[in-house]
Structure 1
Amino acid sequence: MSRLGNLGHRLHRGEIAYDFVGKRKLWYGVSILITLAAIVGLAVNGLKLGIEFSGGAVFTTPKTSISQSEALTKIEGDTGGHEATVQKLGTGSLRIQISDVTLAQAKTIEAKIATDLGLKADTIDPQIVGPSWGKEISNKAITGLVIFMVLVTIYLAIAFEWRKAIAALVALIHDLTITIGVYAIVGFEVTPGTVIGLLTVLGYSLYDTVVVFDGLKETTKDITKQNRFTYSELANRSLNQTLVRSINTTVVALLPVGALLFVGGGLLGAGMLNDIALSLFVGLAAGAYSSIFIATPLVADLKERDPQIAALRKRVLAKRAADARKAEEEPQDAAQEADGDEGDGEEHAAAAGVAGPRRQPASRNRGKNRPSGKRH
Structure 2
Amino acid sequence: MRSWLPLVRALRGRGVAALLASSLLLGLALGTVTRPLCCRAQSGVEAAEAVTPAQLLQEAYQLSEQAETIDQYDQVIAMCEAASDAPLSPKLAEYAQKLLSWSYNRRGEMNAHDGNSQRAFADFDAAVALNPQRWQAWHNRGVSHALGGDYQAAIDDLTKSIELQPQYGNAYFNRAELLYELGEFQRAVGDYDKAIELNPADAAALNSRGHAYYRLGDLHRAVADYDRAIELEANDAATYVNRGDAYILMGRFARAANDFNRALQLDPQLARAYQSAAWLKATCPDSRFRNEAGALELARKAQQLAGEQDYRYLDTLAAAHANAGRFDDAVKVQYEVIQLVPEDQADRFKERLALYQAGQPYRLGGGEHVATQPRRLPQAR
TM-score, normalisation: structure 2: 0.23
Decide which structure has the larger Cα Rg and report it: 1
Higher relative contact order (CA 8 A, sep 6+): 1
